[in-house]
Amino acid sequence: MRTQLASYLQEGLRAEYAALTAWRQALPAAARVLGVEGFDQNARLRRFFVLDHGGTADEHDITAWDTARIVHYAGLAWAAGWLAEHEAWQYASQAAQLARAAYASWDAYGRGFVYGRWYWQGYWNADMTTAAQGGAPDSNGYNPPSLFGVQVGAPYFHAGNARTLEELFSPTFGAHWKALTKNANFLVQNGDVAKLVAYLLSIDADKPDLAIPVTGAQGGNFCAP
- DSSP states of 170-225: SGGGHHHHHTT---TTTT-STTHHHHHHHHHHH-STTSPPPPPPPP-TT---TT--
Same domain, 15 and 88: yes
Cβ within 8 Å of residue 43, ≥6 positions away:
36
Tell me which of 74, 100, 121 is where a domain ends. 121
Mean pLDDT, residues 105-120 taken together: 89
Residue 129 lies in a domain: no
pLDDT tens digits for 48-97? Answer: 788 888 888 888 999 999 999 999 999 989 988 999 999 999 999 999 99
The single-letter code of the amino acid at 142 is Y
Q: What is the pLDDT of residues 136-179, one digit of tens each?
A: 444 444 445 667 777 777 777 766 678 889 998 888 888 777 76
Instruction: Provide the 8-state DSSP code for 144.
Output: P
Last residue of a domain, one of 121, 156, 174: 121
Query: What single letter denotes the amino acid at residue 53?
Result: H
Higher-scoring residue by pLDDT: 206, 77: 77
Buried b / exposed e over 151-167, threshold 16 CB at 10 Å, is eebeebeeeeebeebeb
Residue 44 lies in a domain: yes
Same domain, 112 and 213: no
Residues 112 and 146 grouped into a single domain: no
**Whether residues 115 and 145 fall in one domain:** no
9 and 73 in a single domain? The answer is yes
Question: Under DSSP, is residue 156 helix (H, G, I), strand (E, B) or coil?
Answer: strand
Range of 174's domain? 134-225
116 and 16 in a common domain: yes
CA distances to 43, 76, 91, 203 from 97, rounded to whole Å, are: 30, 20, 10, 42
Mean pLDDT across the chain: 78
If one counts the domains in the chain, the total is 2
Last residue of a domain, one of 72, 93, 121: 121
Sorting pLDDT into bands at 50, 70 and 90, what band is 206?
A: confident
Whether 128 is in a domain gets the answer no
Tell me, yes or no, whether 20 and 55 share the same domain.
yes
